[in-house]
Structure 1
């Protein structure tokens, strides 16, 4: 379980992000802070600091910036990861945040789907990291770096909805499925399910393969890959 600390000066935003984290497997909110000083105290001086693996860090707070928090954190410890979650779009701020080792930079406002994708990428990074404990091969290093890369969200073709695409994506994350299985599980037509699955495959988010070993013609199976 990855311990998450939320840092944001807006109470409603903290509540929203807490709810998002609680919807994800593998993550648990272990601390919340509404300012830069409180965040540094929790990270560097509190007894519960050892439970914090990941900080979801706002960049603008009344008593200091997220950049200040990140600089002090990196000067004292390199064991806590950071995902910047902010409305700041300034390219120089983005450059500094990335230079200081943030794993992701997510711009507000965003959907739960966007949030989930970044968090799942981070989870895969941690999983790759644990598998490559000790001396890593080049392939293992490439896999770790690649786990944090974000693919641009493709524009949906006419007739496809983002909500239904989220449902189909969630189904594939739980395991491979054919168009027939997706249609039965989600209560939609097989033709519609195939359109969504094909869209995910064309966008590089799923891979398509033929499933053999069952009576009749082989059917296409779709598996989530990113």
Structure 2
């Protein structure tokens, strides 16, 4: 009796498998959700430290289902993400790595490249930014996943360019990346939320300017807008960060 092909299982096996390695539960859940929404990708697990990630990868390889890609935070409770990269290479794992981190030190970026990190994505980011990196990674795999030899240098250069020259996700007109980072950092530092006036005062911008950046963070899913009720009068709108604690300018963050 012939077996009917399981098309769903075949499609699942052809998807790029992704392990999310992130110590903050909120950020881990968000990254896993983003991956799950990306066509051609499949989140196979979420772990919160280096040792747990290594165990997961070893089990997956032993089961004949090696993980294709890590979304890797660099600052983990039991070690540094780049140390994990070195351990994986020494153990023979071919898993690719996209670093998802707030570490902006250029020396760290150089170390990440040396450790084999294929993409470096700074927090905070919108879903569109991760979508861009994953889409480019998929195209890179498609280009270099074929058998045989490259037709020439141009083919190799084009494949690597997909990883090394990502398109910048455009901000709305009138918004700047440095001010966005400042406002996001102020909001992350005040976990209970801030009004536009309070956020503007802390960031050194006007209330109106702060509100524009806060509304952009709401639109990108990194914070929520909610009313705060006082003793008298109308409720005040406050903004509360929901994208995790590892963003820019957070006191005490390495």
Q: TM-score, normalised by structure 1?
A: 0.65
Using CA pairs under 8 Å that are at least 6 residues apart, name the structure with larger relative contact order, 1 or 2: 2
Aligned partners of 2:79, 2:64: CA distance in 1, in Å?
Answer: 20
3-state SS of the aligned residue for 1:142? helix
Aligned partners of 1:49, 1:139: CA distance in 2, in Å?
Answer: 34
Q: Match for residue 119 of structure 1? A: 134
Unaligned runs of 5+ in 1: 167-226
How much does 1:35 deviate? Answer: 0.5
Are the equivalent residues in 1 in contact too, given 2:144–2:159 (CA < 8 A)? Answer: yes
Q: TM-score, normalised by structure 2?
A: 0.58
1:28-39 pair list within 5 angstroms = 28-39=42-53
Q: After TM superposition, which residue ranges in structure 1, 4 or more long, deviate above 2 angstroms?
A: 44-51, 151-158
Unaligned runs of 5+ in 2: 1-14, 175-215, 221-254
Aligned partners of 1:58, 1:49: CA distance in 2, in Å?
Answer: 25
Aligned partners of 2:58, 2:41: CA distance in 1, in Å?
Answer: 21
Aligned partners of 2:68, 2:105: CA distance in 1, in Å?
Answer: 27
Count of equivalent residues: 161
Aligned partners of 2:44, 2:169: CA distance in 1, in Å?
Answer: 30
Q: Match for residue 72 of structure 1? A: 87
User: 1:40 and 1:78, CA in 2 relative to 1: closer, same or farther beyond 3 A?
Assistant: closer
How much does 1:146 deviate? Answer: 1.5
Aligned partners of 1:122, 1:7: CA distance in 2, in Å?
Answer: 18
Instruction: Give the CA RMSD over aligned residues.
Output: 2.3
Are the equivalent residues in 2 in contact too, given 1:42–1:48 (CA < 8 A)? Answer: no
